[in-house]
Amino acid sequence: MKTKTRNILIFLGLTTAVVGGAGWYFLSGDKAQLDIAQVSGPSPEITAPRKEIFPTINVADVKPWGPNEAPKAAEGLQVARFADGLDHPRSMLVLPNGDVLVAETNSPPRENPGIEGMVMRLLMNKAGAGVKSANRISLLRDSDGDGKAETKTPFLEGLNSPYGMVLIGDTLYVANTDAVMAFPYSEGQTKITAKGRKVLSLPAQKPNNHWTRNLIANADGTKLFVAIGSASNVAEKGLEVEKGRARIIELDLATGKKRDFAVGLRNPVGMAWEPSSDALWTVVNERDMLGSDLVPDYLTKVEAGMHFGWPWNYWGGYEDFRVEPRRPELREYTRRPDYALGTHVAPLGLTFAEKAALGSGFANGAFVALHGSWNRKPASGYKVVFVPFGDNGRPAVIRDAKGKVTGGLPVNVLSGFLTKSGDAKGRPTDVTIDSKGALLVTDDVSGIVWRVSNPKVQAKPVQTAMR
């Protein structure tokens, strides 16, 4: 089939799938043959790839929460709205005084030409992600401590698809899609008007499909770690546009020098320090179009010098034959991820439970926001899960006498974002622990920040915010 004819068929088929038309059964896509639990945990089943000539499209229609609706919290927990009416809220940062910063943000304008770009825009609009970026960070303040923010005000505006935020002393670092910026900050202030200074330029070359740039600092605040996703699925636009991408970089703030900390990470987003080991962990969105059972997205420990294989291989050495030129010699040096979260679940937010007050069942482990799939049938993700950890700083996996995993798989913390009819009420994006030990969850499609708490656990004391 000639390329032009094939592209036209793909466009017509995908357009039909997106708008919900009838027919085009040959474009119905690949259906999962494994349960999501079988592709989760430390030893997921890795099947043979089922290459998709026509991409599997399964994008949930967005039908946001009604005024009295909410997702379902795990047994013993309760959920309420901390704030709503936000414009595509994504990442969060809890300040020392208890205020919460939330990035109201989305991708830069997508200018992908031709059929591919048109289809991508259709998919984004269907998933509720086609809105223009507000390009601001807002401040949420719960003045009376009732678990709901009475104050919601623009804190920092005029940004460029901001995502990561870190406060070190009196400096707030913000990662735009194309640069890390630094702004002066004073505790209790409700707005920053300073222009800010550029600390580091970041790659944002087109196609900038994975546009988020997350930030985390080391314990003494001397270094920043920046997560940078790939520009494409599997370098199909060529390796030149992937320079400086699909990695976590380390920036020395005193000298301005940077280095690649870990590479071969297709789209790392959430980052957090595991409290017992002080090791850096991240969640990664893996590649698409190898079938509904491949490839598991994952949670993994990251150390200096590690290579996780993208784009040439996945899950510790399975070669992706779509990528040219091949690099078979790289397989023996590829790091296998620690823990699979399921295929196409799209993990974005990550935080550990060290400061959480949700009860003993959620005392040691990681909370992960699974944004939800588009390339899997049936859909996966669309929830917040908890991965239990052991005292060794790693997931607490339980095996039987034959070595089969019988426990330690992800536990649902907040679900119900996807209805039985397949509609999306919302999409969880980021997670963090507030100053009282509750779990905050951004829901970008519905514009809500949810607050998950345990009514039987005494709230932790909070510092008094400057009023």
Q: Which two tokens stand for residue 193?
A: 């008007």
Whether the predicted pLDDT of 222 surpasses 70: yes
* 140 within 8 A of 149, measured Cβ to Cβ: yes
In which element (H, E) is residue 11 found?
Answer: helix 3-19
- pLDDT number for residue 25: 33
**Beta-bridge mates of residue 407:** 398
How far is CA 51 from each of CA 47, 306, 372, rounded to the nearest angstrom? 12, 28, 21
Q: State both tokens at 213.
A: 């740039």
The proportion of the chain whose per-residue pLDDT surpasses 70, expressed as a percent, equals: 88
pLDDT tens column, 248-275: 999 999 999 999 999 999 999 999 999 9
Comparing C-alpha atoms, which of 53, 56, 57 is closest to residue 6? 53
**DSSP annotation of 389:** B
| pLDDT at site 405 | 76
Residue 169 to residues 137, 185, 190, 220, 455, Cα–Cα distance (Å): 19, 8, 17, 10, 33
**Which pLDDT value is given to residue 402?**
78
Split at pLDDT 50, 70, 90, the class of 1 is very low
- At residue 98, the pLDDT reads 97
**What pLDDT was estimated at residue 114?**
57
DSSP string, 216-269: EE-TTSSEEEEEE--SSSSSTT-GGGGTT-SEEEEEETTT--EEEEEE--SSEE
- Count H helices and E strands in the chain, helices first: 2, 31
Phi and psi torsions of 463, nearest 5°: -65, 150
51, pLDDT greater than 90: no
Q: What is the mean pLDDT of residues 82-102?
A: 98
**Do residues 299 and 270 make contact, with C-beta atoms less than 8 angstroms apart?**
no
pLDDT confidence of residue 205 = 87
Phi, psi of 400 (to 5 degrees): -85, -175
As a whole-number percent, the residues of the chain with pLDDT over 90 amount to 82
Give the model's pLDDT for residue 121.
57
- pLDDT (0 to 100) of residue 406: 73
**Given pLDDT bands bounded at 50, 70 and 90, which one contains residue 122?**
low
pLDDT confidence band for 467 (50 / 70 / 90):
very low
Positive or negative: CA dihedral 240, 214, 296, 280: positive
pLDDT (0 to 100) of residue 6: 43
Amino acid residing at 73: A
Residue among 436, 395, 108 at smallest CA distance from 276: 395
Residue 271: CA atoms inside 13 Å, Cβ hemisphere, count? 31
Gyration radius from the chain CA atoms: 21
Q: What is the pLDDT of residue 466?
A: 35
Residue 342: pLDDT over 70 = yes
Spatial distance between the Cα atoms of 429 and 243, rounded to a whole number of angstroms: 27
What H or E segment, with its residue span, contains residue 19?
helix 3-19
Give the three-state DSSP class for 126: helix
A 10 A CB-CB count for 216 gives 20
Q: How far is CA 123 from the centre of its chain?
A: 18
Q: Residue 127 pLDDT > 90, yes or no?
A: no
Is 80 exceeded by the pLDDT of residue 404? no
Strands (DSSP E) along 86-206, which ranges?
89-94, 100-104, 136-141, 151-156, 165-168, 171-175, 179-184, 197-201
Q: Would you say residue 407 has pLDDT above 80?
A: no
What are the residues whose beta carbons fall under 8 Å from the beta carbon of 147, sequence distance 6 or more?
A: 80, 82, 436, 438, 451, 453
Look-up of token digits 């309420």:
80
Q: How far apart are the first and last CA of the chain?
A: 67
Q: pLDDT tens digits, residue range 151-161?
A: 999 999 999 99
pLDDT band of residue 21 (cuts 50, 70, 90) is very low
Alpha carbons within 13 A on the beta-carbon side of 395: 27
Statement: residue 306 has pLDDT above 60? yes
Q: Taking all residues of the chain, what is their mean pLDDT, rounded to a whole number?
A: 90
Give the residue carrying structure tokens 């799939």: 373
In this model, does residue 124 exceed pLDDT 80?
Answer: no
Q: Where are the domains of the chain?
A: 31-453
Identity of the amino acid at 124: M
Q: Which CATH class is domain 31-453?
A: mainly beta
Instruction: Work out the pLDDT band at 403, boundaries 50, 70, 90.
Output: confident
Q: What is the pLDDT of residue 174?
A: 98
